[in-house]
Amino acid sequence: MSDFLLSQILIGIAICTDTISFQFKERKKIVACLLVSCTLISAHFMLLGHWTAAGLGLVAALRFTTSMFSTSKKLMAFFIIATIVISIATYEGFLSILGCSGGLFGTVASFCKEDKLLRQLMLIGTCLWIVHNFLAGSPGAVLMEAIFISSNLVGYFRFYIRPKGQVL
């Protein structure tokens, strides 16, 4: 099996955890699903040789683990710095800039106390990752992020836009 095929299989599994993540209301459940997803996504980018994205995926997995237990702004600052350092250390041009930008939005989102702002910031970060994944040549990762955005928007609608009592 080629590294590319294996990477796309890992993304397929990550799609499942991403899809269910935003159907939860509880912040900790959302973040737990994203932790699993980030680990799979990081392995996917390792197989494709995109080291900034792979490193940022591992930082994101650690970040999600940490943010399950704390929304400390000091910890958020640590992960912002870690995201920037990883991006500089593994710099691959424009892909690294996109990944870093998406990672920064994800970092701030992870440490939001409320799921509403978390969802909004993740939407921006995910849009940056879609462009990154397209340019990185991973159709599975583009699909994953598109599904992630869709799931996020459905959850946002269910919890914040839909009139009370209306069945979806």
Where along the chain do its domains lie? 3-154
160 pLDDT above the threshold of 80: yes
Q: What is the average pLDDT across 88-109?
A: 96
Local structure of residue 26 (DSSP, 8 states): S
Q: How many CB atoms lie within 10 A of CB 164?
A: 4
For residue 167, what pLDDT is reported?
65
78 within 8 A of 96, measured Cβ to Cβ: no
Note the helical H segments in the chain.
Answer: 3-21, 27-48, 51-67, 73-89, 94-110, 115-136, 139-156
pTM (predicted TM-score): 0.86
Q: Cα 82–73–113 angle (5° rounding)? A: 115
44 within 8 A of 133, measured Cβ to Cβ: no
